[in-house]
Amino acid sequence: MVQQNGNSDKVWFITGSSRGFGRVWAEAALKRGDKVAATARNLDSIAELKEKYGENVLTLELDVTNASQVKEAVTKAHEHFGRLDIVLNNAGYSLVGTIEEASTEDVKAMYETNVFGPLHVIHAALPILREQGRGHILGTSSNLGHVVLPVIGYYCSSKWAFEAIHESLAAEVKAFGINVTIIEPGAYATEFGSQESLKFAPGLDIYTDFKNQFIEGLKTMERGNPEATPDAIFKIVDAEHPPLRFFLGNQNLPWVRKAYDERLKEWEDWAEVSNAAQG
């Protein structure tokens, strides 16, 4: 049973507020009367929020790969609003390419945003949340933090790392009154599939047909409405005991359950060999 604490007057710090879930959730929080420090690499992309919501929003230029800029932005947000209740790591992008095609430089660049960027935010925010004795860190992951698709395997790997970091973090900061929740969306009709949210590795001809079939298959996937998601996010941040993991949408649980059933069966099929190797 979900218990609510009834407090909807919250201060948010959100990365990647210019589009996608970051924009949807920032606007929804402002509409319900919360205050938001909205960040984006390009201030012009979030200027409309300031015009529309006035003193309830603080817009900040932020590249999450820049640790010093992250620390400065988090400090400014805290000084401006006097506290931080919710820190939402939402910035990220996907690298499209097979394991052979993508260069280590491309993979490192994606990890700088998808893994190290959130770490910069966490490192900057934790001393503030710890001093407050409360706070809630949210991280936008994916159902691909549990299952893997070809062609975007490196993106999936960044979400597996993201999930492990946040699960460990949750245990480490619980005693300080800080909650951690990993938001795991399925397929949604956001701008995540746009050119700004994708980077393509140089292709090899041997994978062309395979990738074309994969991309055509993605086009047929049912996609959720991002505007339908804020109420679920509010239930999580208002809950007295929020979940560590939360599937966003109705497609994830059946897919992940099937994947784990297959893994368990394979481990069990090889259990005799595994146990013999114990010595």
* Owner of token pair 């999450």: 64
CA distances (Å), 174 to each of 109, 133, 136, 141, in order?
31, 10, 10, 20
Question: How many beta carbons lie within 10 A of that of residue 263, not counting itself?
Answer: 11
Nearest partner of 118 among 83, 148, 163, 82, judged by Cα: 163
The answer to whether the CB of 113 falls within 8 A of the CB of 197 is: no
Among 155, 157, 158, 188, which one carries the catalytic annotation? 155
Among 141, 142, 157, 158, which one carries the catalytic annotation? 141
In sequence order, which ranges of the chain are alpha helices (DSSP H)?
20-31, 47-53, 67-81, 104-111, 117-132, 153-173, 208-219, 230-238, 252-269, 271-276
Residue 141: active-site member: yes
For the chain, how far is it from start to end, CA to CA, in angstroms? 45
Among 10, 53, 157, 159, which one carries the catalytic annotation? 159
Q: Rounded distance, CA 133 to CA 145, Å? A: 29
Indicate the DSSP class of residue 46: G
The answer to whether the CB of 15 falls within 8 A of the CB of 39 is: yes
| Tokens coding 142 | 């994916």
Contacts of 149 (CB under 8 A, 6+ apart): 156, 214
Nearest partner of 215 among 159, 156, 142, 151, judged by Cα: 151
Q: Rounded distance, CA 251 to CA 128, Å? A: 36
Cα Rg of the chain (Å, integer): 20
Q: Which residues are catalytic?
A: 141, 155, 159
